[in-house]
Amino acid sequence: MENKPISANAQFKRWIRRKVPLLIVATLLTALVVIFFFNRIVITIHSGQAGVLYRLFGGGTETDTIYPEGIHIINPFNTMYLYDVRKQIALHEFDVITNKGLSIHLSLAVRYRPEYELLGILHQRIGPDYLNLVILPQIESVMRKQLGSYTAEQIYTNEAGLLTNAILSALDEVGRNYVAVEDIIIRSITLPPEIVDAIEDKLKQEEFMKSYEFRLKTAEQEAARMAIEAGGIKTYHDTINSSLTEQVLRSKGIEATAKLAASPNAKVVVIGSGKDGLPIILGGDNGVSSPIPATSETLPADAPLTETTTPAAQADGKKTKDKDKQPSTSVPNEQKLTNPPPATGDKP
């Protein structure tokens, strides 16, 4: 019998049957490797993060490629380093020695973020712990250098914006290391209690002196205002006095008399006897007439003034008149002279 040639398909199936155990082992090993290295093969970069790849067999850190958010498949022998590129805040406290050797405790809040485009260089030259390696030490160094030449009072009161200048210097220094420090906030400045009390007492006294200076300036301005007002009043009276003629005074007297006549109170009208005399209206709320003094505004110069008396004076006058009307009980002098006593022993 002649042997028929075996087809390629049959040969492949025969090879598979012979290699089944080996293929099973290889598949299991591959699955185990994938499961074991899954976290190194499949990399998930979350929101607000960026990745820097380190190639073990490919030249080290990729400084020109920044991996954005999403899923990335990489060689398990390579390493993906993740960075938080959002704004972050760090709290830091340290002591500063003043120019007189006094210790001041500062508490800061630093808001920072890494430069996205320079993330690869930052990872290569500094590393993920750049906050403690670069940012905080440099800020502390610059602040100590800037504030160490001032007194505790100057620092506590922020004289001439020295704290602002120190913060700006620190921001400029840290910005040279591939990170962006957006702001440095001074949370608190702690001094010894005795120093704080002395500074606060001094500030109170200074404010007290400023308030007195303000009062003096106010008094000076008020005095100047009153002087100007007095000058205006004097000028006004000089102008009025020069214009007060006899006719004007008579007109004012007529107006005043008309207003008094319109009053509902009881009144007494005294008519002047002069040529240009004006009536005088006397009256009170209780019905008893009381005199109203005549002035240049109510009477002309030649009007006679009528003498009036008050109710008390009228009562005293009435008592005097009644006393004068009583009959006298004394003996007249004439009667005493016409009836002399008889002389003893004389004859008529």
CATH number at residue 175: 3.30.479.30
Two tokens at 100?
A: 């007189």
- Residue 92 and residue 180 share a domain: yes
CB atoms near residue 254 (< 10 Å): 13
Helix (H) or strand (E) holding 180, with range, is: strand 179-190
- Residue 237 and residue 141 share a domain: no
- Which of 173, 191, 209 lies at the terminal end of a domain, its last residue? 191
Residue 339 lies in a domain: no
Structural domain range at position 235: 194-243
- Residue 77 and residue 109 share a domain: no
- Residue 59 and residue 20 share a domain: yes
- Which of 43, 61, 83 lies at the terminal end of a domain, its last residue? 83
- Residue 238 and residue 182 share a domain: no
Tell me phi and psi for residue 216, to 5 degrees: -60, -45
Long-range CB contacts (within 8 A, 24+) of 236-245: 244/296
Two tokens at 72?
A: 């990335």
Residue 293 lies in a domain: yes
pLDDT by position in tens, the chain (length 348):
455 566 777 777 777 778 888 888 888 988 888 788 888 889 999 999 999 999 988 889 999 999 999 999 998 889 999 999 999 999 999 999 998 888 899 999 999 999 999 999 999 999 999 999 999 999 999 999 999 989 888 888 888 888 989 999 999 888 888 999 999 999 998 988 888 888 888 888 988 999 999 999 999 999 999 999 999 998 888 888 777 777 777 787 788 777 777 777 776 666 554 455 556 555 554 444 444 444 444 444 444 444 444 444 444 445 444 544 444 444 444 344 344 444 444 443
- Residue 180 and residue 216 share a domain: no
Q: What is the pTM of this model?
A: 0.53
Instruction: For residues 107 and 92, give the distance between their C-alpha atoms in angstroms, rounded to a whole number.
Output: 6
Residue 118 lies in a domain: yes
Residue 338 lies in a domain: no
Contacts of residue 133, defined as CB under 8 A and 6 or more positions apart, other chains included, come to 126, 127
Residue 150 lies in a domain: yes
How far is CA 40 from each of CA 68, 75, 120, rounded to the nearest angstrom?
17, 7, 19
- Which of 55, 83, 111 lies at the terminal end of a domain, its last residue? 83
- Look at residue 76 and give its three-state secondary structure: coil
The total of structural domains in the chain comes to 4
